[in-house]
């Protein structure tokens, strides 16, 4: 068994071990992350946790009222887990998640063998069109280079000039030829990996838009998502660390889901995600995908909590006077932006990269993952710096 399979097996056993919740830990989470619904997420109340996160714990009121219910909620969780274990049902905290046998993930999924599948036909058509366009571009570039070389040769024959100047012009022609060859290679690369580059652009826009409204955690999670799927081998050496384990868990859960459920090609997946993100945000939709989204939303709330000290420092360093209402209002806006953006973009991004990984398309995976992580980084930095904010607000005002 490979190291990756061993780690995935360990993760699967850990997730399926029917863990009980300790009241002391529940109280700790209520105290530290309760305003973001951290204790509710820990007890399996995903929709409630999301609502608490985007309302900042009901402006603190909901959070305070939950204090007296912590013991009963914990007992309810443990009793339900015991019942599920006795009846052979899936554990409560992974209910709805697909956890494939790690050995199955090393086999090409069944849906790839359906030759009549509409999405596969679209992929072949797109690839054929890209190849034809690339061939035409290469032929055009070659014709231009040949014509330019012929003109240069004719001019050099007719015009008397010193030998040194003739050699210099020949070198210039050679340099021009190499530049056109490199342009041809770049054009071929852009056409071959157009889907992956479009996805990366989408990642950058999502990270930038969220960071503009203070939701820096979106960019961080998108970077983590791209890295988890693209650089799995690097994280295997750090599987004993909390971050390494979390990223490998995401890799396992995403690959499990999309090994069973075929992700459409990028443009189709993007359109579907854009249409269905509101129902998913409210807790409706396909169970497995909804479960994945809920777990990532919980991660977003946790990152929000971790970033609060940084936000306070940034506010203290700013020119504007600190106002509690303004700060918490901004935090609520950031949380709403986080949940909405993650609901809209994560399925298409995670699904696209998982698809490449499952099918063994290493180059497509690397191009998409590296470009996605890079654009998410750039988008987050630009959003944090507020670059383009005035123009964005003016555009919305004009609309």
CA angle 39/43/48 to nearest 5° reads 70
Give me the tens of pLDDT residue by residue for the chain, a chain 399 residues long: 588 888 889 888 888 888 888 888 888 888 887 877 778 878 877 777 777 776 777 778 888 888 888 888 898 888 988 998 888 888 877 777 888 888 888 888 877 765 445 555 555 655 665 566 556 555 555 565 566 666 656 655 555 556 666 566 667 667 766 666 565 665 666 667 777 888 888 889 888 887 887 777 778 888 888 888 898 888 888 888 888 888 888 888 888 888 888 877 777 777 777 777 777 666 676 777 777 776 766 666 666 666 666 666 666 665 666 566 666 666 666 666 676 777 777 778 888 888 888 888 888 899 999 999 999 999 988 888 877 766 666 655 554
Residue 370 has what pLDDT?
A: 93
The predicted structure's pLDDT at residue 115:
41
**Is 82 part of a structural domain of the chain?**
no
Residues 314 and 167 in one domain: no
Q: Flag whether 108 is in a domain.
A: no
Of 192, 218, 246, which closes a domain? 192
Least Cα distance to 266 among 367, 183, 334 occurs for 367
**For residue 160, what are its two tokens?**
């008397």
Measured in whole angstroms, the distance separating CA 107 from the mean position of its chain's CA atoms is: 24
Contact of 100 with 11, CB cutoff 8 Å: no
Instruction: Give the end of a domain, one of 130, 158, 192.
Output: 192
Tokens of 7: 């780690």
Residue 252 lies in domain: 195-398
Burial code (b: 16+ CB inside 10 Å, e: under 16) for 102-141 equals: beebeeebebeeeeeeeebeeeeeeeeebeeebeeeeeeb
CA angle, 145 then 146 then 150, to 5°: 115
Note whether 357 and 283 are same-domain residues. Answer: yes
Q: Please check whether residues 350 and 245 belong to one and the same domain.
A: yes
- How many residues are there in the chain? 399
Q: Could you tell me the sign of the dihedral formed by the alpha carbons of 181, 187, 189, 192, in that order?
A: negative
- Decide if 294 is inside a domain: yes
Residue 157 in any domain: the answer is yes
Shared domain check, 229 and 164? no
Q: Are residues 341 and 328 in the same domain?
A: yes
Three-state secondary structure call for residue 255: helix
Residues 6+ apart with CB under 8 A from 187: 134, 137
């Amino acid at each position: 068994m490979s190291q990756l399979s061993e780690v995935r097996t360990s993760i699967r056993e850990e997730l399926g071990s029917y863990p009980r919740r300790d009241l002391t830990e529940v109280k700790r989470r209520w105290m530290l992350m309760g305003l973001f619904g951290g204790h509710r997420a820990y007890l399996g109340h995903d929709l409630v946790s999301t609502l608490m996160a985007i309302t900042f714990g009901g402006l603190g009121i909901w959070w305070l009222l939950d204090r007296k219910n912590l013991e009963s909620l914990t007992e309810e969780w443990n009793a339900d887990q015991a019942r599920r274990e006795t009846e052979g049902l899936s554990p409560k905290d992974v209910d709805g998640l697909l956890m494939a046998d790690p050995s199955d993930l090393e086999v090409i999924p069944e849906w790839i063998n359906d030759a009549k599948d509409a999405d596969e036909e679209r992929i072949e058509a797109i690839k054929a069109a890209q190849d034809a366009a690339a061939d035409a571009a290469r032929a055009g570039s070659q014709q231009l280079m040949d014509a330019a070389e012929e003109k240069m040769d004719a001019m050099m024959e007719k015009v008397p000039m010193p030998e040194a100047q003739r050699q210099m012009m020949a070198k210039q022609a050679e340099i021009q030829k190499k530049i056109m060859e490199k342009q041809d290679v770049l054009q071929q690369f852009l056409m071959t990996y157009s889907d992956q580059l479009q996805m990366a652009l989408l990642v950058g826009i999502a990270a930038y838009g969220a960071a503009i409204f203070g939701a820096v955690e979106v960019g961080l999670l998108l970077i983590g998502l791209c890295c988890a799927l693209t650089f799995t081998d690097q994280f295997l050496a750090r599987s004993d660390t909390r971050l390494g384990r979390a990223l490998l868990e995401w890799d396992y859960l995403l690959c499990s889901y999309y090994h069973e459920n075929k992700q459409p090609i990028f443009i189709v997946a993007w359109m579907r995600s854009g249409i269905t993100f509101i129902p998913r945000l409210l807790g409706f939709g396909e169970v497995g995908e909804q479960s994945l989204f809920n777990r990532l939303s919980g991660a977003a709330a946790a990152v929000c909590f971790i970033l609060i000290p940084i936000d306070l420092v940034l506010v203290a360093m700013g020119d504007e006077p600190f106002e509690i209402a303004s700060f918490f209002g901004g935090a609520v806006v950031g949380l709403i932006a986080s949940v909405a953006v993650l609901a809209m973009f994560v399925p298409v991004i995670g699904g696209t990269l998982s698809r490449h990984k499952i099918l063994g398309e290493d180059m497509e995976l690397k191009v998409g993952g590296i470009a996605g992580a890079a654009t998410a980084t750039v988008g987050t930095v630009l959003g944090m710096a507020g670059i383009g904010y005035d123009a964005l607000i003016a555009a919305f005002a004009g609309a």
